[in-house]
Structure 1
Amino acid sequence: MGSLGLMNRNNGHRLGITEPISLGGPTEYDVNKTRELEKYLRDAGLYESQEEAVGREEVLGRLDQAVKIWVKTISRAKGLNEQLVQEANAKIFTFGSYRLGVHGPGADIDTLCVGPRHATREEDFFGELHRMLSEMPEVTELHPVPDAHVPVMKFKFSGVSIDLLYAKLSLWVIPDDLDISQDSILQNADEQTVRSLNGCRVTDQILRLVPNIQNFRTTLRCMRLWAKRRGVYSNVSGFLGGINWALLVARICQLYPNALPNMLMSRFFRVYTQWRWPNPVMLCAIEEGSLGLQVWDPRRNPKDRFHLMPIITPAYPSMNSSYNVSSSTLRIMSEEFQRGSEICEAMEANKADWDTLFEPYPFFEAYKNYLQIDITAENDDDLRKWKGWVESRLRQLTLKIERHTYNMLQCHPHPGDFSDRSRLFHCCFFMGLQRKQGVPVNEGEQFDIRLTVEEFKGNVNMYTLWKPGMEIRVSHVKRRNIPNFVFPGGVRPSRPSKVTWVSRSSEPKVSGHAQDNSPEGKAVSNGADDGRKRKQVDDSLETNLRNAKRLAAVPPSTGGVHEGSPPVSIASSCSMKFDSMNTHRSEELRTEKSENNSPDSLKNMKNLVEVSSQSCQANGPAKCSPPNESPPAAADTTNSREAENLAIEKIMSGPYVSHQAFPEELDELEDDFESRSQDKDSRGNNKGSPVESSKANAAGPVPSTNESASASGLYANGNLEELEPTELVPPLSNVTPAPVVQKPLIRFSFTSLKATGNSS
């Protein structure tokens, strides 16, 4: 698949839509640091054993045999003649981390089954193939998800986790040498098939568009480990998933085609710290194609204009792979990119090491207030389904809280889940809460998100596969009351000393160098608070969000809240006030950061400017200098960094018109909620007697006449804790925003479907 900005890797020409920033090769310093990095990855347990690799290959072979038998079976059952039955074929493809070559021990394998036109998805794939797999003794935990955005069958095959998608092509016979990278493969394909094929096509295209596959793989392994340790690896939570990180790393490899992983890591943080979102990250030019499929283009598609962090897939039809990112998660990731950039600079001056960069983020020490979302079910199968559904809707809770408090209350979702082993069929999720930085605080003001939470719970309980026993409880918990089961070994840490990165203006505090050799994905720190809170990144995005909301407020959903047959009972009522947060805005941000984030610079995007390799060579980074065992001199580093900053600035000058973004995706979520409600109504209520709340229970502010009375009771109850006060603009019921005449209470009070022993 060619493109205007793409040239062949093998003939020495560039890859990507711009010239590289630097063509310089590695120094001896880079070689040594890369060896250290590769050892760090091995010690962290990121590579599978040869025995496990062979086992995966055998599983894929068995699975391929199974689908070939399946397609012949259904062909015969449909009355095809014997010749067509013998020619009938299906083929297994892999994609994701396994295809990219960056999977670790125990990772699942993303697979795609490609079948002929007469093998249907509903009847044959989720019917006959599901039956065949269920009868195979080596297949366990078989879980079909036919209603997913990308329908999938999940199971374990001889202990190896498999996610199996299905693509029905318009061919009568699937050849063994089928090339799914050709656009013609999409001819007459339904939407689910196009989405299912997309994973394989994107993965293969990424490998074609990077200059050095081995360096790409090592760097991607590093970034995946870093993202999981820092708690920003999760597409469903609003952060970035595997494909997103792969695309970001691939773009850095294009910009520094001859760099080793050590330098690619450093440049990753440097480039994306300066990146002015929502400028898109693209590996190649977006092709219109000849099949009429919609591609990502904010100039034509209004919904594309509200994507906050566009990372565009390289295969036709190109689309934004990171549409789940919200303003809160973008802020968190921007802060983490800044931290990574600072540490990499310190490493060049021998003031930090890999332990500092990969230090796990102490999520349960970073905030003083959290939301705890507990879910329970009657058995393991129900819990797996219920957990998947609730997890997919948690992003909606984050977005609703952001919108209903006008971004004054910021949410930080934890990307993982936790289980209390003392409770059967239970798991829970957490969100860190803090008020927006830099906003004047007026005493006595509180956030009230009770109705927002009730609206969210009503949404969740519209699950079409709901069964008795599936329950959800949302509660507020203080940091000191975080349950012990979230910590490793179920033991709350006693604040041991560890390596801590403080800020750019001060050197890292090194109280100990305990090596963390835990496997990839360990995101909860064994230590305690590292003595700092996240820095506020006051970029143009949040300014645009605030201005857009003031000009055009979107009313929240006012539909009734439907809940299941279990009676609604009040488990606890808690109001909380944010104590004084130890979160301070950084006094010093780099000059280029503030300049790059100015709204004016976003509005001046006109033409795609290519950076000449010659100028980059002349003013290239310090690591392009002649070999030297020691890090580059400070003066040379400063000069080359300025040249790189200019080159990065030019790269971000693209053809897409800048726009003011605000969480329009909330409306999309609410539209989805309404459509699911209609779908559930059409199916009939299978929960028994539903409980329907009045419209007064929709998310919104409590009337001020009741707020003063409620406030008087907040302090009388010793169990009620208050949130840190800040200004709140009440949600609007019409398009014209009402003037702010008061500062209503910001109160938290949550109810649950079932009372539990502990009160928050």
Structure 2
Amino acid sequence: MNDEEVAKRLDLCLMEVVESFKLFDSKDERIKKLNIVRSLEHIGEQWVRELANDQRLTHRLNDKAGLCRLLVQGSTALGISSRSGDIDAVLLVPNFVDRDDFFTSFPSWLRKSRDISELAAVPDTFVPLIRIKVSGIQVDLVISRLATSYIPQQLDFEQTPGDLYRNMDAISVRSLSGLHLAHELNKMMFGHAHFLPLLRVIRTWVRARAIGSYVYGFPASIAWTIMVVYICRRLGDNSQISTFCVCRRSSVCRNSEPAAERNSGEESLASRSHALFCLVYTFFAQFASWPWPHPVQIASIKFASDLNIFSWDPQRNAQDGRDLMPILTPVFPNKNAAFTVRQATRKIVTDELIRARDIVSDVLRGSGTWEKLFERYDLRDDHRHFLLLTLQTTSKEELVVVGGLIDSRLRDLAQALEDEQYIRSARIAPIQESPEANQSNASCKQLRRQWLIGMDIESAPRLPDGTRSRRNVDITGCLSTFYQILRERDAFTDFGEKLTHVYLNRSQAMQLIL
């Protein structure tokens, strides 16, 4: 086989492994999600029309402008939504709609739909949202209140930030910037043949290695996407042949003389286009040696001081300067999509990137397999000490709201544990409920959610006889601080009663389903 045939074979084998995980939506599933968005938009139109009637503002409505628009963001907007993934959507409303209406009257309209089985309003978060389940699919709805009395048919994201976001509140800006971000990434990668395949590879790897949850201290999904865009722009369009490029290596394409010793008239694969496996290797090699905290950046940082909304700027904001792994979004307000990363989780990510780089190197030498790259990580293999947290509630709404709060603050507990003298790292994993547990909980009218935290505790020094003494680590202070953080954010929930904790050893932890 020639170079091109071998490259195609490597790429085909890689994508066959990725597709075997069945992580991403089929065409039918994408259509189902699109229909859900359309049905929710129709409910939104009815709701906005009622508000306009109540305020006697029907004269502002016309056929050329919509009452509202529901647009998807995130993975769905990029065309790479996962089968177990949520729909992240932004409801654009005119300026006569108040944010409070979104959390008071709009849920009443949503509950009229037979397809909506669960609904929880979460107004007190960084980006307030309504979380619903429609036909079995979770939808996170946020609202963006435009400065106009109508919704334009097309949003002009080519405007300056000052024009695009003028007279909008900060929460609406954050919601609308999510749409802007998806638009910008799609524009950057338009026509790039390897963008979505590379993104599928990286998403599958991130999921398998359990390093994709930003609430637990890892880069957010959008951060990994930005890293993929960085590699595609640097290498994929052939404008720059990176030192990490492996397309020309004889060990990759054929076992023969090095590329430099071939006939000078022979056209190399790399001179025509980069193979997908080359981008995969470059991704891992580039970021395994990335000089953190130097930021990953795919566009210039934009500022609009007149809006009193600020982009990532270490000179202005000391907290930005303390970020350990800055991966910057390309639209205003530019933010670090990996702001939750801690010292311990950055080391985990770096170690995983090094592992992946070495595995891909073995594959390209013919001594490794793609399957090994995607081996599922289990924190019980790396830890001997565990903390099990259990939340019990009596309603699904409470489980969603209180469980979401706990989920979002567990990294505070992990950081507190890591600040202890002998705990090197604390890694969080959600626990899947078994069918037996669900049936048992239903019989006693209790709903349950659990988390497992693996603690890497430094061993005690050896004694003269060669044995080790028992290392005693007191984490009661860490737990007390964590419970206090929860109470400060929700004074109405008795966390002391509803959230319990217990120590587990490895054999006990192995009984759980992760």
Into which bin does the TM-score normalised by the smaller protein fall? 0.7 to 0.9
Deviation at 1:212, TM superposition (A): 4.5
Deviation at 1:362, TM superposition (A): 2.7
Contact 1:229-1:361 within 8 A present in 2 as well: yes
Contact 1:143-1:154 within 8 A present in 2 as well: yes
Contact 1:312-1:318 within 8 A present in 2 as well: yes
In structure 2, the residue matched to 1:426 is 448
Describe how 1:475-624 pairs up with structure 2 within 5 A: 475-482=502-509, 484-486=511-513
Gapped runs of 5+ residues in structure 1?
Answer: 1-25, 487-523, 525-760
Q: TM-score, normalised by structure 2?
A: 0.84
Match of 1:452 among 472, 478, 490: 478
Match of 2:487 among 432, 445, 461: 461
Deviation at 1:306, TM superposition (A): 0.7
Contact 1:219-1:264 within 8 A present in 2 as well: yes
Instruction: Work out the CA distance in 1 between the residues paired with 2:379 and 2:419.
Output: 23
The answer to whether structure 1 residue 281 and structure 2 residue 296 are counterparts is yes
Amino acid corresponding to residue 425 of structure 1 in structure 2: L
Describe how 1:650-729 pairs up with structure 2 within 5 A: none
Instruction: Work out the CA distance in 2 between the residues paired with 1:441 and 1:334.
Output: 30
The answer to whether structure 1 residue 260 and structure 2 residue 286 are counterparts is no
Change in CA separation of 1:461 and 1:299 when aligned onto 2, cut-off 3 Å:
closer
Contact 1:234-1:240 within 8 A present in 2 as well: yes
Contact 1:209-1:283 within 8 A present in 2 as well: no
Instruction: Work out the CA distance in 1 between the residues paired with 2:425 and 2:226.
Output: 26
Partner of 2:346: helix, strand, or coil? helix
Instruction: Work out the CA distance in 2 between the residues paired with 1:410 and 1:311.
Output: 25
In structure 1, the residue matched to 2:325 is 309
1:138-177, Cα deviation, whole Å (9 max, x unpaired): 2221111111110111112233321111000111111112
Deviation at 1:211, TM superposition (A): 6.5
In structure 2, the residue matched to 1:203 is 182
Change in CA separation of 1:283 and 1:131 when aligned onto 2, cut-off 3 Å:
same
Whose RCO is larger (CA < 8 A, sep 6+)?
1
Deviation at 1:88, TM superposition (A): 6.0
Deviation at 1:46, TM superposition (A): 2.8
Partner of 1:244: helix, strand, or coil? helix
Deviation at 1:375, TM superposition (A): 1.5
Moved more, 290-299 or 279-288: 290-299
Instruction: Work out the CA distance in 1 between the residues paired with 2:351 and 2:473.
Output: 25
Amino acid corresponding to residue 262 of structure 1 in structure 2: F
In structure 1, the residue matched to 2:256 is none
Partner of 1:236: helix, strand, or coil? helix
Amino acid corresponding to residue 355 of structure 1 in structure 2: E
1:111-145, Cα deviation, whole Å (9 max, x unpaired): 111111111111x2112221111112122211111
Match of 2:10 among 33, 43, 51: 33
Instruction: Work out the CA distance in 2 between the residues paired with 1:357 and 1:41.
Output: 10
In structure 1, the residue matched to 2:200 is 221
The answer to whether structure 1 residue 175 and structure 2 residue 142 are counterparts is no
Instruction: Work out the CA distance in 2 between the residues paired with 1:127 and 1:180.
Output: 30
Instruction: Work out the CA distance in 1 between the residues paired with 2:284 and 2:508.
Output: 35
Instruction: Work out the CA distance in 1 between the residues paired with 2:299 and 2:462.
Output: 47
Q: More helix by proportion, 1 or 2?
A: 2
* Count of paired positions: 458
Amino acid corresponding to residue 125 of structure 1 in structure 2: F
Instruction: Work out the CA distance in 2 between the residues paired with 1:156 and 1:447.
Output: 42
The answer to whether structure 1 residue 414 and structure 2 residue 428 are counterparts is yes
Moved more, 55-64 or 454-463: 454-463
Amino acid corresponding to residue 500 of structure 2 in structure 1: R
Amino acid corresponding to residue 272 of structure 1 in structure 2: F
Instruction: Work out the CA distance in 1 between the residues paired with 2:290 and 2:509.
Output: 36
Partner of 1:461: helix, strand, or coil? helix
Deviation at 1:440, TM superposition (A): 6.7
1:439-485, Cα deviation, whole Å (9 max, x unpaired): 97786554322222122123223442634686112222110121523
In structure 2, the residue matched to 1:65 is 42
Contact 1:238-1:325 within 8 A present in 2 as well: yes
In structure 1, the residue matched to 2:415 is 399
Amino acid corresponding to residue 210 of structure 1 in structure 2: M
The answer to whether structure 1 residue 344 and structure 2 residue 360 are counterparts is yes
Contact 1:71-1:88 within 8 A present in 2 as well: no
Contact 1:311-1:322 within 8 A present in 2 as well: yes
Deviation at 1:83, TM superposition (A): 5.0
Contact 1:312-1:320 within 8 A present in 2 as well: yes
Instruction: Work out the CA distance in 1 between the residues paired with 2:510 and 2:398.
Output: 24
Contact 2:90-2:176 within 8 A present in 1 as well: yes
Q: TM-score, normalised by structure 1?
A: 0.57
Moved more, 416-425 or 223-232: 416-425
Contact 1:377-1:426 within 8 A present in 2 as well: yes
Instruction: Work out the CA distance in 2 between the residues paired with 1:380 and 1:290.
Output: 43
Contact 2:229-2:298 within 8 A present in 1 as well: yes
Change in CA separation of 1:106 and 1:232 when aligned onto 2, cut-off 3 Å:
closer
Instruction: Work out the CA distance in 1 between the residues paired with 2:366 and 2:66.
Output: 62
Partner of 1:410: helix, strand, or coil? strand
Deviation at 1:39, TM superposition (A): 1.7
Change in CA separation of 1:79 and 1:451 when aligned onto 2, cut-off 3 Å:
same
In structure 1, the residue matched to 2:88 is 110
Amino acid corresponding to residue 45 of structure 1 in structure 2: K
In structure 2, the residue matched to 1:472 is 499
Contact 1:411-1:431 within 8 A present in 2 as well: no
In structure 2, the residue matched to 1:194 is 173
Partner of 2:433: helix, strand, or coil? coil
Moved more, 98-107 or 310-319: 98-107
Change in CA separation of 1:380 and 1:127 when aligned onto 2, cut-off 3 Å:
closer
Contact 1:252-1:267 within 8 A present in 2 as well: yes
Deviation at 1:179, TM superposition (A): 2.7
Instruction: Work out the CA distance in 2 between the residues paired with 1:262 and 1:211.
Output: 20
Contact 2:145-2:172 within 8 A present in 1 as well: yes
Moved more, 373-382 or 95-104: 373-382
In structure 1, the residue matched to 2:394 is 378
Deviation at 1:47, TM superposition (A): 3.6
Change in CA separation of 1:83 and 1:370 when aligned onto 2, cut-off 3 Å:
closer
- Rg: which structure is higher? 1
Amino acid corresponding to residue 506 of structure 2 in structure 1: R
In structure 2, the residue matched to 1:95 is 73
Deviation at 1:27, TM superposition (A): 4.2
Instruction: Work out the CA distance in 2 between the residues paired with 1:342 and 1:331.
Output: 17
Instruction: Work out the CA distance in 2 between the residues paired with 1:401 and 1:459.
Output: 14
1:302-342, Cα deviation, whole Å (9 max, x unpaired): 11111000000100111111110011111111110110011
Instruction: Work out the CA distance in 1 between the residues paired with 2:47 and 2:333.
Output: 30
Instruction: Work out the CA distance in 2 between the residues paired with 1:273 and 1:106.
Output: 29
Deviation at 1:84, TM superposition (A): 3.5
Deviation at 1:81, TM superposition (A): 4.4
Amino acid corresponding to residue 49 of structure 1 in structure 2: S
Deviation at 1:233, TM superposition (A): 1.2
Contact 1:211-1:253 within 8 A present in 2 as well: no
Contact 2:431-2:512 within 8 A present in 1 as well: no
Deviation at 1:428, TM superposition (A): 1.2
Amino acid corresponding to residue 116 of structure 1 in structure 2: P
Contact 2:214-2:220 within 8 A present in 1 as well: yes
The answer to whether structure 1 residue 230 and structure 2 residue 252 are counterparts is no
In structure 1, the residue matched to 2:246 is none
In structure 2, the residue matched to 1:154 is 131
Instruction: Work out the CA distance in 2 between the residues paired with 1:440 and 1:281.
Output: 41
Change in CA separation of 1:58 and 1:141 when aligned onto 2, cut-off 3 Å:
same
Contact 1:372-1:475 within 8 A present in 2 as well: yes
Contact 2:387-2:501 within 8 A present in 1 as well: yes
In structure 2, the residue matched to 1:584 is none
